[in-house]
A = this chain, B = another copy of it.
Amino acid sequence: MLSLLPRRGLTFATSSFPKSSCATRSSSSLSSYSSLVSEFSIHMQLERVASLLHWDAMVTMPQTDAHHCERGLQSAALAGVIHEKQTSKKIGELINEVNIEELEDEEKANFELMQKIYREKTSIPETLAKQQAELSNTAYVDWTKARSSSDFSQFSSTLKKCFQLSKHLTSLKLGSNPKQVSLYDKMLDEYERGLHSSRITEMFDNVENALIPLISKVLSSPKPSTSCLSPPSGSSFSIKSQQKLNNAITKKLNFKGRSDISVHPFSTSFSPSDVRITTRFSSQEWYQGLAGSIHEVGHGFYESNLLKSPVCPINQPLSMGTHESQSLFWERHVGLSKSFFNYFGDLIREELQFSYSNTELYKASNKVEPSLIRVEADELTYPLHVILRTKIERDVTNGDLEVDQIPRVWNEEMQSLLNIEVPNDGEGCLQDVHWSSLAFGYFPTYLIGAIAAAQLEYYIRKDLDFNGCIEKGEFGRIEEWLKKKVHVKGSRNKSIDDLFESEFGERLNEKYFIEYLTNKYAKLYNL
């Protein structure tokens, strides 16, 4: 029992990090650049440690408030350290010592990202950062309470503070930025780097205009049967069988990481070679669990295929929308395709012990039904949920809407967009957690991801027999394509627009998403 032998000596991080390519050239500017890369590697390794604290809290730690509270102290200690390092004078000095003209293109892109991170982190005084942390804790509690009593008025004054503080923080980050961008642009930039809100408005408006008549047509057509999704009355789907099915499918997709169970599915990465996903199961519906796994596998592939070295900002995912494009590509364009069920149908029938046909599985999993709750929405109605919340957060940020008016606008728009009566705020404007975290600008990335995924399908079809790959189980070829076009590019581009422009010769374009939905649902519903 060799327990408790102390961990082996004290090891220092800097000595172990790979030197950047410029280490072989030489100048004091290049050596400063090299040191900067080493410093950032350490920050990023520490951020991976923070991700492990989170993964463990969600997956292996006992799930009690006391444990989460303890873990919170550990996360807070680590977050404090990371913040100290990211804003240290040393970083500022190294940045000043670098002569950008001496850098190669990749180094330049990396340097600009490091500069940006440093500038934005140091633009927030510590007192404000603490205020942000405190408000986001309080707001989470207030939101939970308000949601459970379905009463927006219990949350409105806190939400006002959230908007106010977020605007203030954003204006500090903007600083004396010469490019005229709005506050909401800058909030968005936090999650969707380099994509201005004018682009979003333009794309989202087109999506909205196309979807409303399409959904209306779909809903006036006969509905497909969804009985294969539920177990026969009085019985249930075994969780073990679902787990076995999911593992078999994610393995066939070539996902190599761990897969565990957690309350909310998520994916996380401690390095490209240690990417983990989680999922959850219901005994009353099997497809959501599978869809969740495939979605997370999509995120996981992106993380797995990032370049491993050096650990630095250009080798990080480009944006949340780009990330979501990967998860949605696998969840929808692969997992909701007819070819998918043609390939996996036998396995599904065997594990779930039923005899529904591939076509029945395909039709049921693609059912369209407007719903109150975004996370339960289907592919066709989901965009409207995103569009609605995006408009509201943008309008409140711009001063065009009062916080108190949110429930009214929400309910009216749900009626006009989806013809749905919102019975209460809990199932209405209070359903999502994001605002309580001051995560304004996050929401649109869900739809950006969906738009990008459809565009990727369009372009992958030019290079590959996409359906053929799925029907033959050649998922590695699909992953390889995405890896080459998106994953290994990391954050080398300034935005998803730039990435697509350089890979496909055109920026993000919602027309592919609209075409994809129009064609797919026309066939499905004989429109």
A126 to B: closest C-beta gap in Å = 8
A7 x B50 contact (CB < 8 A): yes
Q: Which of A437-476 contact B (CB under 8 A)?
A: 437-439, 442
**A489 interfacial contact with B, CB 8 Å:** no
Q: Which of A312-330 contact B (CB under 8 A)?
A: 320, 323-324, 327
A246 to B: closest C-beta gap in Å = 14
A253 to B: closest C-beta gap in Å = 16
A106 to B: closest C-beta gap in Å = 21
**A240 interfacial contact with B, CB 8 Å:** no
A437 x B6 contact (CB < 8 A): yes
Identical copies of this chain, number: 2
**A512 interfacial contact with B, CB 8 Å:** no
A80 x B2 contact (CB < 8 A): no
Of the candidates B16, B56, B79, B136, the one whose C-beta lies within 8 Å of that of A13 is B79
Interface centre among A41, A270, A295 (most CB of B within 10 A): A270
- Chain B residues near A442: list those with CB within 8 A: 5-6
B73 x A1 contact (CB < 8 A): no
Interchain CA distance A77-B270 in the complex, whole Å: 13
**A479 interfacial contact with B, CB 8 Å:** no
**A163 interfacial contact with B, CB 8 Å:** no
Interchain CA distance A206-B415 in the complex, whole Å: 87
**A14 interfacial contact with B, CB 8 Å:** yes
**A220 interfacial contact with B, CB 8 Å:** no
- Chain B residues near A375: list those with CB within 8 A: 1-2
- Chain B residues near A15: list those with CB within 8 A: 130, 133-134
A19 to B: closest C-beta gap in Å = 14
Chain-B contact segment, one of A175-183, A258-266, A513-521: A258-266
Interchain CA distance A52-B75 in the complex, whole Å: 12
Chain-B contact segment, one of A60-68, A385-393, A497-505: A60-68
A residues lining the B interface (CB < 8 Å): 1-17, 41-42, 45-46, 48-50, 52-54, 56, 60-62, 66-67, 70-81, 83, 85, 126, 129-130, 132-137, 140, 191, 258, 264-267, 270-271, 273-274, 291-292, 295-296, 299, 311, 320, 323-324, 327, 331, 375, 433-434, 437-439, 442
Additional A-B contacts beyond A1-B375, A2-B433 (6; CB < 8 A) = A13-B76, A42-B80, A61-B274, A67-B273, A67-B274, A73-B311
